Amino acid sequence: NGLGISYGLAGLLFPAQSIGSLIALFLTGFMLHRFGKRKPLAAGAVVFIASLLAAAFSEGFLFLAVGMFLIGAGVGFFDAGINTICIDAHPEGKGKALNRLHFFFGAGAVVGPLISYAVEKLAADWRGVFAFCILGPAVFLLVLLATPLPPTPPAEPTRRFAVLRRPLLWFAALTLCFYCGVEWGVGAWFPSYWTATTLAAVIPPAFATSLFWLTFTVGRWFAGTQADRLGFRTFLGLSFAVTLILVVLWFVLRNPLFILPIVLVLGFTIAGQYPTVVALASHKFPASSGQVASLLSVFAVAGSSLFPSAIGFWADAAGIGALTGAELILTAGMIVFGLLAFGADRKQKAL
């Protein structure tokens, strides 16, 4: 509204951010090998700060789109770099460590909109939200410069990048691609889905979606210890089975009295899947943590961008109720590639 941008133009800001993330993620796998962890992460913090400044001072769509592109790039550097640090710092207990790390994503999804709302009201301008967010990467940069980082086990480049030829990595990447479709199908479209139900006047759609992210965040906190205790494949297999049951119930039971509890339990159930798939894909390749984290994040960003957009077009044609069918298809795809990843993991020797 402040810049007089149409909904159509505003919708292009999200692909701009995704393209920035994808480019940064492709670059980060090579930068982590060439420069170590600190320099790519420092570059990501600088890019992040510059992007938020560009967005805060934008006077039109083009400048704001550049800011969103750079925000995506900063997120990409952070995503791959921080996941690599977590993988390298925990030769054992990767399930718990990665789930606790990704817990803060869910916490941000719950708290971030509330902070943004408060800052916008205090500053009386949406630009204040972008300016306030500069504190995050600025503090991160200061901590990064003063903190020792865990080393990646040494390896020749041919051995380090040989992981890109391993079926386990590609099946895990495709699993995450479909997983992100499941997660963001709910995250992006459940408000619209819930608006069409008879309980929307009683429980506002924004509140219902916040409850989904809340159960998702709680699930991340508790999933890690179970992933390590049961083993990555067993934990994921059980989680996939419960997810399929819940999505089928959602597809069949259209009464909103059942839908909201199902979706809340679904949030808790899927919460540990992303970090545990990362743990499954990385535990056999300790010398290639940066390359593993980068490729997995590329597929995750692709799934987060493409599948919610496809759901939107399907909803235009068939109504928002198509969300349940889309979730069922995406869940099936996640499970198929997850099972293929399990088989590849059994055959893969540690490198």
What are the CA-CA distances from residue 3 to residues 127, 133, 222, 336 (Å)?
11, 20, 43, 45
Where b means 16+ CB within 10 Å and e means fewer, 101-119 reads bbbebbbebbeeeeebeeb
Answer whether 330's CB lies under 8 Å from 270's CB.
no
3-class state of residue 3 by DSSP: coil
Tokens 């992303």, located at residue: 274
Residue 71, C-beta contacts closer than 8 angstroms, at least 6 positions apart: 17, 20, 48, 51, 52, 55
Rg over CA atoms, the chain: 20
Cβ–Cβ under 8 Å, residues 95 and 275 = yes
CB neighbour burial string for 261-296, b if at least 16 within 10 angstroms, e if fewer: ebbbbbbbbbbbbbbbbbbbbbbbbbbbbbbbbbbb
Q: Please choose, from the candidates 15, 6, 27, 326, the residue with its C-alpha nearest in 3D space to the C-alpha of residue 178.
A: 326
175 contacts 295 by C-beta, under 8 angstroms:
no
Contact 280, 232 (CB under 8 A): yes
3-state secondary structure of 100: helix
Look up the pTM and report it: 0.86
End-to-end C-alpha distance for the chain, whole angstroms:
53
Helix axes of 38-56 and 135-146: crossing angle, nearest 10 degrees:
160
Nearest to 26, CA basis, from 291, 222, 316: 291
Amino acid 185 reads G
- Burial (CB < 10 A; 0-12, 13-18, 19+), residue 308, is buried
List the pLDDT tens digit at each of the 351 positions of the chain.
677 776 567 667 778 888 999 999 888 888 887 888 899 999 999 999 999 998 888 888 888 888 889 999 999 999 989 998 998 888 888 888 999 999 988 888 878 777 877 887 787 677 888 888 899 999 999 999 999 998 877 767 667 778 888 999 999 999 999 999 999 999 888 988 998 998 988 998 888 888 999 999 999 998 888 999 999 999 999 999 999 999 999 999 989 999 999 999 999 999 999 999 999 998 888 888 888 888 999 999 999 888 888 888 888 888 889 999 999 999 999 999 999 999 999 998 876
| Residue 313: per-residue pLDDT | 86
